[in-house]
Structure 1
Amino acid sequence: MAEKKKCEYCEKEAIGFQSLEGSFAWVCRDHADSLLLELKPGEKQVYGACYLERYT
């Protein structure tokens, strides 16, 4: 079974991964960018230099 990722900022369970113009992090709902929150679980999106992937 895959290891569950934790938020880079607070250690809560991560809902996804975001890479925004050079910085990247696994983030929880509280620390996720609004673009990541708009995605459905399993969706991925690329906006220029930004990459977003929603897990749950």
Structure 2
Amino acid sequence: MGVDRSMWKMNPERLQEHLQLKNRARQIPDKKKESKKRACRVSRRALPLFPSLSV
């Protein structure tokens, strides 16, 4: 992860607020990403693992 140098210019109160918002954003799951992951898993499960063996 790259260092965010813009944080160095912030005053301590602003920095604290920024970090809290950053952590909160990280905790909220991205609904679109979640549904894509789920759809991928489901479609993969629907296909046979070894199609050549089922013939």
TM-score class, shorter-chain normalisation, is: under 0.3
Q: Which has the larger radius of gyration?
A: 2
Relative to total residues, which structure has the larger strand share, 1 or 2?
A: 1
